[in-house]
Structure 1
Amino acid sequence: MSLLSAVPAGLLLPESFLLSDWFSTLATFVAINTVIYVILGVIKIVPLPQRPGHKGRSRRSETRSIYPDGSL
């Protein structure tokens, strides 16, 4: 016996409510929105690949210190 046949369809809401067109549209919108936020979260977690020949942000050609004769 599968889990879907053991749980009645209209446990919290009537089955006619769950099968209505606007409810399926809302469920589709929520699903697409969830996928978009998961993708944005993964992009934020994964580090950006380094380009070859790129020195990075911490290297400057000249000092920007208040002591202009200091080391780079």
Structure 2
Amino acid sequence: MTAALIPAGLLFPESLLHSQWFAVLATFVAINTVMYAALALAKILPKLHPTEWIRTRNERSETRSIHPDAAD
């Protein structure tokens, strides 16, 4: 049996890795990765409703129900 050589990947020359367009591409990929991770994390966390934290003018401070012990 003979072993077949299968390339495991590409090996770029060092001059290519220090070029301007490669730095721009690496920056774009880094920003894209951070944004994707932030959106995935935001999708996992529960939704926040800031309007529930602030009492509006139309909302009563006390219940006027005939069942005063009822939950709000």
The corresponding residue for 2:40 is: 41
Cα separation, 1, equivalents of 2:36 and 2:48: 22
State the TM-score, normalized to the length of structure 2.
0.53
The corresponding residue for 1:65 is: none
Cα separation, 2, equivalents of 1:34 and 1:49: 24
For 1:17, the aligned partner's letter is: L
Flag as ranges the 4+ runs of structure 1 deviating above 2 A.
49-53
Gaps of 5+ in 1: 1-10, 54-72
CA offset at residue 14 of structure 1? 0.4
Gaps of 5+ in 2: 1-9, 56-72
Q: How does 1:1-72 map to 2 (within 5 A)?
A: 12-49=11-48, 51=52
Identity across matched positions, percent: 56
Higher relative contact order (CA 8 A, sep 6+): 1
TM-align CA RMSD: 1.9
| SS of aligned partner of 1:12 | coil
State the TM-score, normalized to the length of structure 1.
0.53
Cα separation, 1, equivalents of 2:43 and 2:11: 37
Say which one has the larger Rg: 2
